[in-house]
Amino acid sequence: MLPAWLTDTVTSDLDRALRYTLLWGLEGVELRTVGRASDRVPFVNEEKLRRRLAEHEMPVVAVVPGLFEGPASHRATWLDDVAQLDETLGFCRRLGCPRVVVSAFEADDDAPVDMAADALRRAGTLAARRGLTLAVLNEAGMAHPTGAALARLLATVDHPAVRAAWNPAAAAQAGEDPLQGLDALAGHVELVRCTDGVLRGETWHPTPLGEGAVGWPDQLRALHTDGFAGPVSLEVNLEPPPRHGLRMATTLIAMIRAAKARK
């Protein structure tokens, strides 16, 4: 497992983000916003980005371009997302990034799972032609928030280049046992988004990593047992972000080492 992080959860400034990555002992970056607050990948200063990444020998484990965030019933919208994906895939190839993280659509009672699957299957075909993988993220409040729901969607998509970006905290927020959600996705996880929290009533409260409802040591042990060797990408959602980022990165690295050491 490769400890990484979603950089703009602390800063969109590239140099600061890379400095934090090295200081915190992380081994890769997941990129969403780089530069100004409005600079979303792939529409960023690519020349500077490639130069800085090379200087620091820092791999980009994934990019998050903001695709498939609308309702699956809005066919024209997701067809536009499919058309835009090719630019992101070219950006990834130039950076040496192997995967694109996309959403699993807005909750929409009018959209059967086949409509979402059609969009992702088309996108997966484009990704496969470039030798890349599409990682579909389960998100709280979206159409497929749990591991079980995401597994059903991926089974309907049935494309080898379309896999899971697993967010166990989102599953816990949706009322799913995170270990059961991971079990539903066994063998299909491409990236793990790493955050924590507790549900009090109907409100989700972020906590430091390892202090919430996810049960990260068990998650990481199960991932290791399943043979997962991909990125575990930290998302920092507490204030002040730099201080909590350091603490959470240290915790994540220690938990990964413990999971690998356990026999």
How high is the pLDDT of residue 263? Answer: 59
Is the dihedral angle over the CA atoms 152, 153, 158, 161 positive or is it negative? negative
Helices 14-23 and 241-261 cross at an angle (nearest 10°) of: 40
How high is the pLDDT of residue 212? Answer: 97
Report the pLDDT averaged over residues 236-255: 96
* SS3 state at 162: strand
Integer angstrom CA distances of residue 27 from 12, 14, 145: 18, 15, 28
How high is the pLDDT of residue 26? Answer: 98
pLDDT in tens, 147-168: 999 999 999 999 999 999 999 9
Q: Is residue 15 scored above 70 in pLDDT?
A: yes
Q: Is residue 173 scored above 80 in pLDDT?
A: yes
Q: Is residue 236 scored above 70 in pLDDT?
A: yes
